[in-house]
Amino acid sequence: MFPFYGNGSATFMRNLISELVKKKHEVAVVAPDKRKLFGVKHYLVNPPYEGVFVGHPEWNKARKFSEMSGVDLTRIYLSYLNSSISAVKDFGPEIIHCFHTIFLPPVARFIKVMYGTKYIVTTHGSDLYYLQEDRRLVGVIKDSLGIARCVTAVSESTKRQFLSIFGYGLYKKVNVISGGVNINNLETSTSLVDNKYNLSGKKVILFTGRITKQKGVHYLIKAMPRVKVANTELFIVGEGPEEKNLKMLVKQLKLKNVHFLPYMKGDKLREFHQLYKRAQIFVAPSIWDEPFGLVILEAMAYATPVIATKKGGITSIINDGENGLLVRARNSKDLAEKINLLLNDDKLRKRLSEKARQTILDKFTWPKIAERFERIYYKYSSLAIDYLREVKKPKKT
């Protein structure tokens, strides 16, 4: 439903597709993006309006779905329906995977009636926050979820929120499969950012993400006057509606060590990932129940210690004191204390770094996650009989 870059669900989709293509599966994508993904057949959707749940860095002028009229929502739905029917007729998939619960499951429900194609649904969490605000589509979505073969949620927190909206009758249908990290192309140098931002001999604190109220960056900035370690710089990477207010706050607090960088893509991605590697601490100060937190995984993949709030899906990644530190939400004092603790204790920082990296290797690599989806695709597609025969074969010893 969104561009291929700029948010967590898009990153999730790209990495999952990449793994499926490596395994020689045929993949097609219906989406509102003209850019090409390697090894994928593309079918373009041209929705009449750009719509978002909360915000999107590549769709700065998009309206929230909650602010749209019923006519507007219907026109968007029809654009996806028409494009998807044409794609199914041409591509002939064994199974359809809907990313997000909005619009797409009802589209897949209609295709199931017309073509008999089975489908699964993934909720990434931001769609559920929209539905808590605007419940107009809940009924038609619930009907389509009842026909879906499987639903996946990115965290236990997201699963609970999903069931609270659509009913616990769907409990047995919902599996938790988180996102992951591609660990094959991580940056090994920091020379680009060291030279560009004059970081020699300095400590770096990093935040990346959409600059919205929900992300809690306000509290991170208010914590900075309490950070007592010399030569510490905070980098805030991203864009969003709160950016102007945050810059005003920095000015009011007379902070000289807080830097705002825009959303990075394309040839800027190398710089973006070098900041992950260069940072001594990554901070995720969310004040809402974060559905999951792919940016946290990216930091951990670089063995960068994470300080995050005890909100939502974050707690399914971070074990306090083991592979990161958790703090109370909306609490700048607690945040500053944890930042000072980590910056002053090299031994603790190293221990958390190693545990963070190991957590990624154990649980959050894309080959492992893609394998779980692959099993679902086989189980619920027209290839189910062949799949069941294969898994019942005795293993060679």
- Answer yes or no: do 265 and 134 share one domain: no
For the residues 33-51, what does the mean pLDDT come to?
A: 96
Q: Comparing 32-36, 69-73, 209-213, 381-385, which segment has the lowest mean pLDDT?
A: 381-385
Measured in whole angstroms, the distance separating CA 31 from the mean position of its chain's CA atoms is 17
pLDDT at residue 249 above 70? yes
- Answer yes or no: do 150 and 222 share one domain: no
**Can you give the residue range of the structural domain that contains 17?**
8-180+365-391
pLDDT at residue 203 above 50? yes
CA dist., res. 140 & res. 23, Å (int) = 35
- Cα Dmax for the chain: 69
- Answer yes or no: do 128 and 83 share one domain: yes
pLDDT tens-digit profile of 77-126?
A: 999 999 999 999 999 999 999 999 999 999 999 999 999 999 999 999 99
397 within some domain: no
Q: pLDDT grade, residue 396 (50/70/90)?
A: very low
Q: What is the pTM of this model?
A: 0.87
Tokens of 128: 């559920």
pLDDT at residue 395 above 70? no
pLDDT at residue 214 above 60? yes
Distance between first and last Cα of the chain:
46
pLDDT tens-digit profile of 136-159?
A: 999 999 999 999 999 999 999 999
Q: What is the pLDDT of residue 185?
A: 82
For the residues 163-182, what does the mean pLDDT come to?
A: 95
Look at residues 291, 358, 277 and name the one whose alpha carbon lies nearest to residue 8: 291
For the residues 245-266, what does the mean pLDDT come to?
A: 96
Indicate the DSSP class of residue 188.
-
Q: What is the pLDDT of residue 288?
A: 82
- Answer yes or no: do 121 and 144 share one domain: yes
- Answer yes or no: do 22 and 94 share one domain: yes
pLDDT at residue 368 above 70? yes
- Answer yes or no: do 166 and 232 share one domain: no
- Answer yes or no: do 207 and 145 share one domain: no
2 within some domain: no
- Answer yes or no: do 295 and 198 share one domain: yes
Total domain count, the chain: 2
3-state secondary structure of 6: coil
Q: pLDDT grade, residue 383 (50/70/90)?
A: low
272 within some domain: yes
Residue 314 maps to which CATH number? 3.40.50.2000
Specify the DSSP element, H or E, that contains 283: strand 281-284
Percentage of the chain beyond pLDDT 70 is 96
pLDDT at residue 390 above 80? no
pLDDT at residue 388 above 70? no
Q: What is the pLDDT of residue 204?
A: 98
Q: What is the pLDDT of residue 384?
A: 55
